Amino acid sequence: MWGRVVEIMTAVWLALSPFIFAVQSDPTLLWADLGIAVLIAVLSGLSYWHPTRHAHLLILAIALGMILWGRFAELPPPPAHQNHIVVGLFLLMIALIPSHASQPPLVWQKTLAEHESSTQPSAKVLRRQR
């Protein structure tokens, strides 16, 4: 689930970025960044719940929107919009990572469990040896 944690950290960065780039006086930019940050954090959080485990894939659409908005809102893009481009590209990479990327595939887990159960002596055999 480390990918979802990184997405939430990126949402925090996005929420703070209007203040870092000194554009908090622009209400459109401020509320858009805050809204997008909340949406990213909610989708990442929903990925922890099994029925909505693929919710983080919706972040791909948000990331594409951020890239396009950052690139074409103003020409040339000011630093705040350059931030949208970079954050969007970063989220494109992170959102593709499966939630359980740190664990081996299920087939490997089942094979390992079967192997461990077949190699361990049963309780009856252990009692007879004593």
108-123: average pLDDT: 77
pLDDT of amino acid 101: 79
Query: 46: which 2 tokens?
Result: 């929903």
Helix (H) and strand (E) counts for the chain? 6, 0
pLDDT in tens, 85-95: 999 999 999 99
Distance CA 126, CA 130 (A): 7
Residues 2-61: tens digit of each pLDDT: 889 999 999 999 999 999 999 999 999 999 999 999 999 999 999 999 899 999 999 999
On whether the CB atoms of residues 11 and 37 are closer than 8 A, the answer is yes
Q: Could you state, in order of their start, the residue ranges of all structural domains in the chain?
A: 2-102
pLDDT averaged over every residue in the chain: 90
Is the full-model pTM beyond 0.85? Answer: no
**Which tokens go with 64?**
């594409």
